[in-house]
Chain A
Amino acid sequence: MKYIDEYRDRDKAAVLVKEIEALVAEIPLAKERPINIMEVCGGHTHSIFRYGIEGMLPKEVELVHGPGCPVCVLPMGRVDDCVAIAERPGVIFTTFGDAMRVPGSKKSLMQAKADGADIRMVYSPMDALEIARKDPDREVVFFGLGFETTMPSTALTVLQAEREGITNFSVFCNHITIVPTLKAILESPDLNLDAFIGPGHVSMVIGTAPYEFIANFYKKPMVVSGFEPLDVLQSVWMVLKQIKEGRADIENQYARVVPDEGNKAALDAVDKVYELRDFFEWRGLGSIDHSGVKLREACAHFDAERKFALPNLQVADPAACQCGAVLKGVIKPWQCPLFGTACTPETPLGALMVSSEGSCSAYYQYGGVKAQAGAA
């Protein structure tokens, strides 16, 4: 397939790995301890495991799998709210498939569906709006989920509903925003990161300027990366080159998709529909200021949180769960006592085991080479 196959070339990957090895040999720090590079985005985590990229890299380079899987960081209380909406008579609850198995405090959406709630998986928020058009007597709620990548699609759907005067459609908005989250990680006292692989598709929307503080203030390099194996390897190489040269810059490996200025039409839609919340709760990371968005007053009639009374309770993560420490790169997934025993992809306890983009699930399914070496 065009724009995919050419970035999966084995020979080119082998060449890049050699270049990476040569660079690492010239970085003095790498002789003292591993260089820790966090990939922020769950899509990268998925690619890294799917293509065994960790196994290709020299042992001096450690990839830390960050909090960029929106399904994984969804707190239990929000899942409980979803179930409460879905179980109301007359409601059709629509969601991306990824969210179906996320455990709530009592049940997941999958279990609620089995218990009789009308929960439908959709590919796009536009599909949810189409259900609302076809069934005007039912309340159709779309579970808005994701970082800036999917935020505009929900916003454009709301604007379309507004134009058509559709009144039986609303959004349960759980969209989150990346920059405050990166700040929270950078401010974390147990921080041990040297650089970042930046999220490709979030950046396609917001551009690269919002990351400048990472280079300027925190002096950490970041390379915004594509998702194919060669993209990720090239980005690792670019990050290491910055470290070797003593630079901290925001670079863009994924220029074929990410314009430095972002996407204006998408940002306009986002700005019209949402405003920042004072804070938002993340599973494993706790509350982070200004890290989520909600619908603006002008769009209140499309806001499921205002339309329906929600339990809106905070539910603590299971006490033994170490998702937070894994998200921040303090421990590796297999160092959590629940990993692979009480917590598996079939019966996830912690959020990181739920989605294929979560680092625990990825380790479990693809068996990280270094994980096995480390555990032995």
Chain B
Amino acid sequence: MCLGIPGRIVKIDDAAKRLATVDVGGVKRQVNIACVVDDTHPVENCVGDWVLIHVGFAMSRIDEQEAAETLKILSELGEAQAEIEAMRLSEAEMGRAAS
């Protein structure tokens, strides 16, 4: 109920009632898209959008750029870790060389 699931809008079924078909991991279902439509993003622009669906309602358009950003930070943490690890190793090497 609270977790929701990402899906992609594949077809507008009824623009006036804000009803669209979404594809959620291969399963198609009709949902209400009133909460992801506004003046800057009209109904007809919604096909192809990735949305988060809760209890039959698309509640948020997933921001691809932000999604990529979060993953990038995670990767950079990984890179930083690798770098720190390399520094530790090299320090150990140097230590050995010095002794």
| Chain A positions near chain B (C-beta within 8 angstroms) | 1-4, 6-7, 9, 11-12, 15-16, 18-19, 41-43, 46, 68-71, 96, 98, 123-127, 145-147, 149-150, 152-153, 156, 160, 201, 204-205, 226-227, 230-231, 234, 253, 255-259, 263-266, 269, 357
Q: Which of A1, A96, A126, A231 contacts B1 (CB 8 A)?
A: A96
- Knowing A127-B56, A152-B59, say if A18 contacts B2 (CB, 8 Å): no
Q: Can you offer 5 A-B residue contacts whose CB atoms are under 8 A?
A: A15-B77, A98-B1, A124-B31, A150-B54, A257-B63
Q: Check if B34 sits within 8 Å of A156, measured CB to CB.
A: yes
List the B side residues contacting A204 at CB < 8 Å: 52, 59-60
Main secondary structure of the interface of B (DSSP, over half): mixed
Measured in the bound complex, the distance between the Cα atoms of B18 and A152 in whole Å is 14
The A-contacting residues of B in range 1-20, CB under 8 angstroms, are 1-4, 6, 17
Q: Check if A149 sits within 8 Å of B59, measured CB to CB.
A: yes
How many A-B pairs fall under 8 Å by CB? 129
List the A side residues contacting B62 at CB < 8 Å: 3, 256-257
Shortest 3 CB-CB contacts between residues of A and residues of B: A124-B56, A256-B67, A256-B66
List the B side residues contacting A127 at CB < 8 Å: 56
Q: Which of A1, A123, A269 contacts B25 (CB 8 A)?
A: A1
New A-B pairs, 7, CB < 8 Å, besides A12-B78, A150-B1, A150-B2: A1-B6, A15-B81, A145-B1, A201-B54, A255-B70, A263-B35, A265-B35
Q: Check if B34 sits within 8 Å of A19, measured CB to CB.
A: no
Q: Which of B17, B35, B73 contacts A152 (CB 8 A)?
A: B35
* B interface residues, tally (CB under 8 Å): 36
| Chain B positions near chain A (C-beta within 8 angstroms) | 1-4, 6, 17, 25, 31-32, 34-38, 50, 52, 54-57, 59-60, 62-64, 66-67, 69-71, 73-75, 77-78, 81
List the B side residues contacting A2 at CB < 8 Å: 6, 50
Measured in the bound complex, the distance between the Cα atoms of B59 and A150 in whole Å is 9
Q: Check if B66 sits within 8 Å of A149, measured CB to CB.
A: no
List the B side residues contacting A126 at CB < 8 Å: 32, 56-57
Measured in the bound complex, the distance between the Cα atoms of B79 and A172 in whole Å is 52
Q: Check if A255 sits within 8 Å of B66, measured CB to CB.
A: yes
Q: Check if A230 sits within 8 Å of B55, measured CB to CB.
A: no
Residue of A nearest to B30 (CB): A126
Measured in the bound complex, the distance between the Cα atoms of B4 and A336 in whole Å is 31
- Knowing A124-B55, A153-B54, say if A42 contacts B2 (CB, 8 Å): yes
**Shortest beta-carbon distance, A13 to chain B, in Å?**
9
Measured in the bound complex, the distance between the Cα atoms of B1 and A195 in whole Å is 25
List the B side residues contacting A7 at CB < 8 Å: 70-71
Measured in the bound complex, the distance between the Cα atoms of B17 and A6 in whole Å is 34
Measured in the bound complex, the distance between the Cα atoms of B56 and A4 in whole Å is 19
Q: Check if B2 sits within 8 Å of A146, measured CB to CB.
A: yes
Q: Check if B70 sits within 8 Å of A234, measured CB to CB.
A: yes
List the B side residues contacting A16 at CB < 8 Å: 74, 77
Residue of B nearest to A154 (CB): B55
Q: Check if B55 sits within 8 Å of A96, measured CB to CB.
A: yes
List the A side residues contacting B6 at CB < 8 Å: 1-4
Q: Check if B75 sits within 8 Å of A12, measured CB to CB.
A: yes
- Knowing A46-B3, A264-B38, say if A149 contacts B74 (CB, 8 Å): no
**Shortest beta-carbon distance, B72 to chain A, in Å?**
11
Q: Check if A43 sits within 8 Å of B2, measured CB to CB.
A: yes
Q: Which of A9, A19, A98, A263 contacts B60 (CB 8 A)?
A: A263
List the B side residues contacting A19 at CB < 8 Å: 77, 81
Measured in the bound complex, the distance between the Cα atoms of B59 and A192 in whole Å is 34
Q: Check if B50 sits within 8 Å of A3, measured CB to CB.
A: yes
- Knowing A124-B57, A125-B55, A266-B59, say if A256 contacts B34 (CB, 8 Å): no
